[in-house]
């Protein structure tokens, strides 16, 4: 069984979607949030996922928060750490210690890094939009890109645009997690067909 730890800060729709779509041999064994008011806490509990709240407001520095976060992650011994709407800037304490973390960002990186990406992407006038999954590295939203999905822009409202972005996220994130944790072995050409 492969273990995942999910980090989130808010609504938690990606957390819920991942939990429901992953195959049985990949499990979210712990979810961690920095926000005691996050609605995702309810979602996680409903799904029977252990949630730990590490309230960033109780720490005097980003580094101290990251130390506690890293310890909590390490205790769960995850094969993969999945950031899903985790709204904290991470320090080298985190990126130096956790090498197996991925993030989803609601734009076609390297465009529109940082917060408010959906609105900025919507207002940019670009004729394509999409989502990116990347490794978490020191630069915010700057780690190596693993996968992207995009769509051609029509005349959608901001709300419709947001819905399309989230639909891509819900389709892509579980697929990429499964691909990372259960890479398909290449088959010998004689066995094909
Ligand atoms: C998603 O759009 C994700 O790409 C971004 O934050 C949002 C989280 O939504 N990083 P939710 O909490 O999973 O509903």
Please check the confidence at residue 193 and state whether its pLDDT lies above 60: no
Tell how far the Cα of 176 is from the centroid of ligand 1, in angstroms.
Answer: 16
The pTM (predicted TM-score) of the whole model is: 0.94
Q: What is the pLDDT of residues 174-188, one digit of tens each?
A: 999 999 999 787 777
Q: Is 188 a catalytic residue?
A: no
Q: What is the pLDDT of residues 102-135, one digit of tens each?
A: 999 999 999 999 999 999 999 999 999 999 999 9
Question: Which of ligand 1's atoms lies nearest the C-alpha of 17?
Answer: 13
The predicted model gives 151-176 an average pLDDT of: 98
Band of residue 190 on the pLDDT scale cut at 50, 70, 90: confident
Q: Rounded to an integer, what is the distance from CA 72 to the centroid of its chain?
A: 17
Share above pLDDT 70 across residues of the chain, in percent, rounded to a whole number? 98
CA angle 113, 117, 118 (to 5 degrees): 155
The best mutation among 12, 33, 37, 104 to test binding of ligand 1, ranked by most ligand atoms within 8 Å of the C-beta, falls on 104
Please check the confidence at residue 192 and state whether its pLDDT lies above 80: no
The CATH number of the domain covering residues in 2-181? 3.40.50.170
Q: What is the pLDDT of residues 62-108, one digit of tens each?
A: 999 999 999 999 999 999 999 999 999 999 999 999 999 999 999 99
Nearest CA to ligand 1 atom 7: 85
The pLDDT value given to residue 186: 72
Contact present, 32 and 54 (Cβ < 8 Å): yes
- Which is the catalytic residue, given 105, 134, 166, 188? 105
Tell how far the Cα of 135 is from the centroid of ligand 1, in angstroms.
Answer: 16
Nearest CA to ligand 1 atom 8: 85
Contact present, 122 and 129 (Cβ < 8 Å): yes
**Which of 135-172 are b and which e, b meaning 16 or more Cβ less than 10 Å from the residue's Cβ?**
bbeeeebebeebbbbeeebeeeeeeebeebbbebbbeb
The C-alpha atoms of residue 90 and residue 109 are separated, in whole angstroms, by 18
């Amino acid at each position: 069984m492969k273990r995942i730890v999910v980090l989130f800060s808010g609504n938690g729709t990606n957390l819920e979607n991942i939990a429901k779509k992953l195959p049985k041999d990949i499990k979210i064994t712990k979810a961690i949030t920095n926000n005691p008011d996050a609605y995702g806490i309810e979602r996680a509990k409903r799904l029977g996922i252990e949630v730990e709240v590490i309230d960033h407001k109780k720490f005097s520095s980003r580094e101290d928060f990251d130390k506690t976060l890293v310890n909590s992650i390490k205790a769960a011994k995850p094969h993969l750490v999945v950031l899903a709407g985790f709204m904290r800037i991470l320090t080298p304490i985190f990126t130096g210690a956790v090498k197996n973390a991925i993030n989803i960002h609601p734009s076609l990186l390297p465009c529109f890094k940082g917060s408010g990406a959906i609105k900025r992407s919507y207002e940019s006038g670009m004729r394509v939009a999409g989502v990116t999954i990347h490794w978490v590295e020191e630069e915010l939203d700057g780690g190596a890109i693993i996968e992207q999905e995009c769509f051609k822009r029509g005349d959608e409202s901001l709300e419709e645009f947001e819905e399309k972005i989230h639909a891509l996220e819900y389709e892509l994130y579980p697929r990429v997690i499964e691909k990372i944790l259960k890479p398909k072995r290449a088959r010998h050409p004689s066995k094909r067909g």
